[in-house]
């Protein structure tokens, strides 16, 4: 797959650090994130996004990747040809 630009809004579970009161049921919700980068892989379940890609035509290399479950994606904007 040729990498292409992508922006993804996705929901994630999270934890609270430290002590405090439990949230009320109305305030329990997932964290919403936005990730931007290059789509380098995809299957039925996940997409793989990297922030950095090598521009050297002799080196097909990427920075660290993030894998996001498709079931958590609320918005996806792929930009073809980029």
pLDDT digits (tens, 9 = 90+) for 36-73: 999 999 999 999 999 998 888 888 788 899 999 999 99
> 54: domain range?
4-13+30-79
Residue 67 lies in a domain: yes
CA pair distance 40, 56, nearest whole angstrom: 16
pLDDT digits (tens, 9 = 90+) for 4-20: 999 999 999 988 778 88
Residue 20 lies in a domain: no
Q: How far is CA 50 from the centre of its chain?
A: 9
Residue 46 lies in a domain: yes
End-to-end alpha-carbon separation of the chain, Å?
A: 13
CA pair distance 79, 6, nearest whole angstrom: 6
| Structural domain count of the chain | 1
Nearest Cα to Cα of residue 6 among 67, 60, 58: 67
pTM for this prediction: 0.80
Residue 73 lies in a domain: yes
Residue 19 lies in a domain: no
CA pair distance 4, 55, nearest whole angstrom: 13
């Amino acid at each position: 797959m040729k990498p292409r630009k992508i922006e993804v809004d996705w929901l994630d579970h999270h934890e609270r650090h430290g002590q405090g009161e439990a949230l009320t049921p109305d305030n329990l919700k997932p964290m919403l994130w936005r990730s931007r980068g290059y789509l380098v892989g995809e299957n039925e379940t996940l997409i793989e996004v990297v922030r950095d890609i090598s521009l050297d035509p002799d080196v097909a290399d990427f920075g660290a990747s993030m894998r996001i479950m498709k079931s958590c994606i609320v918005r996806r904007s792929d930009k073809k040809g980029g």
